Structure 1
Amino acid sequence: MLVFWREKLVFLAVPKTGTTALEGALAPKAAAVFRDPPILKHTPIYRYKRFVLPLLQKAGDNDLETLAVVRHPVSWLGSWYRYRHRDDLVGHQNSTRGKTFDEFVEEYCRGKPEPYAGVGSQAKFVGDGEGSVDCHHLFRYESQEPLYRFFEERLDMKLETKALNVSPPMELTLSPRVEEKLRRKKPAEFEVWERGRST
């Protein structure tokens, strides 16, 4: 999470949406940077409003806006699957080794998934708990140009990023049957992505 005080903007870092690369480029411009631990770096909107915003409001009358990036649910889950497939997680309960991508996504669709598929929800991260997006500015991961343009105009800077914290490359294909199940079980994940700006 990055706070740009003068520019009245807070960047909420949804996991697996390229936030580490953006943080690396934007941090020098930020008034406050929350890098560690992950619970602070990846502060969802509801936790931001409950714990962080009151603190910022005490610092002055500042009408802060929030921004987040969301990724297509299949791509987002693919990134999680690949990230948890890495060598240093072998033998850990979060490892996806020995599981197919279909198995991973099917487990994610369960009410209480096993730890390896417990990766949270983008819809809950940016939502108000009642089905609406609670961020002022929502962008799609797949459409980087409008996101970069927004940051450059709002922060008055040239934004150049480097690939950081990238999941290991792997060819993944989700079967039509499992994708249909994902859409049926997790419609909010697709709805919130549809609401992201792409132009």
Structure 2
Amino acid sequence: MLVFWKENLVLLAVPKTGSTALEGALAPRASMVLRDPPQLKHAPCYRYKRFLKPFFVQAGGQKPELMAVVRNPVDWLGSWYRYRTRADLMGHENSTRNVSFDEFVLEYCKGQPAPFANVGSQNKFLRINDGEVGVQHLFQYESWHKVIGFLEDRLEMTIILKEKNVSPPMELTISPEVEAKLRDKRAAEFAIWELGQS
């Protein structure tokens, strides 16, 4: 999470949406960088609203606008799947080395997925109250030029990104049947992605 006090903006770090690359480029410019522990770095909207928003209001009367990036659910799950194939997770319950991408997605569709497919929810990350979207500025990962354009205008700077925390490259395919099940069981994930600026 990055806080830009003067510009009245907080950039929330949705996992697997390029947040580490943005942090690398913008941390020197930020008023506050929350990078550890992961629960702070990746604090969702509801946690921000409960703990950090009152602190910011008390500190200066400000209610910063929130910004986040959301990724196509199939691509987002693909990034998680590839990330969890890495060698240092071999033998761990979170490893995806011995499951196919279809198996991973099917497990994710369950109410209580196994640890290897328990990767959270972009929809839950971004919603507060009774389903209200908690950010004022939501961008689709697939329109990265809009993310950068918005930040360059708001922060009055040129942004040069370097790849960080990138999942291992791998060709992935999802069967039509599995994708249909994903769209049915996790429709809210597609709905929140469609709300992003494309």
Taking structure 2 as the reference length, the TM-score comes to 0.98
Percent identical residues? 63
Residue 178 (structure 1) aligns with: 178
Residue 107 (structure 1) aligns with: 107
CA displacement 1:73-94 (0-9 Å, x = unmatched): 0000000000001000000010
Deviation at 1:32, TM superposition (A): 0.4
Structure 2 unpaired stretches of 5+: none
CA displacement 1:5-30 (0-9 Å, x = unmatched): 00000000000001000010011111
After TM superposition, the structure 1 = structure 2 runs for residues 76-87 of structure 1, keeping only pairs within 5 Å, are 76-87=76-87
Residue 166 (structure 1) aligns with: 166
Structure 1 unpaired stretches of 5+: none
Deviation at 1:129, TM superposition (A): 4.8
SS of residue paired to 2:128: coil
CA displacement 1:115-170 (0-9 Å, x = unmatched): 00000000000112533321100000000111111000100100110000000000
Residue-pair matches, total = 198
Q: 1:129 to 1:62 in 2, by over 3 A?
A: closer
Deviates more, 1:55-64 or 1:162-171: 55-64
Residue 31 (structure 1) aligns with: 31
Q: Verify: 1:44 aligned to 2:52, yes or no.
A: no
Matches of 2:57 and 2:132 in 1, distance apart? Answer: 24
Residue 22 (structure 2) aligns with: 22
Matches of 1:111 and 1:4 in 2, distance apart? Answer: 37
Q: Verify: 1:53 aligned to 2:53, yes or no.
A: yes
Q: Which amino acid aligns with 1:171?
A: E
After TM superposition, the structure 1 = structure 2 runs for residues 61-100 of structure 1, keeping only pairs within 5 Å, are 61-100=61-100
Taking structure 1 as the reference length, the TM-score comes to 0.98
RMSD over aligned CA atoms reads 0.8
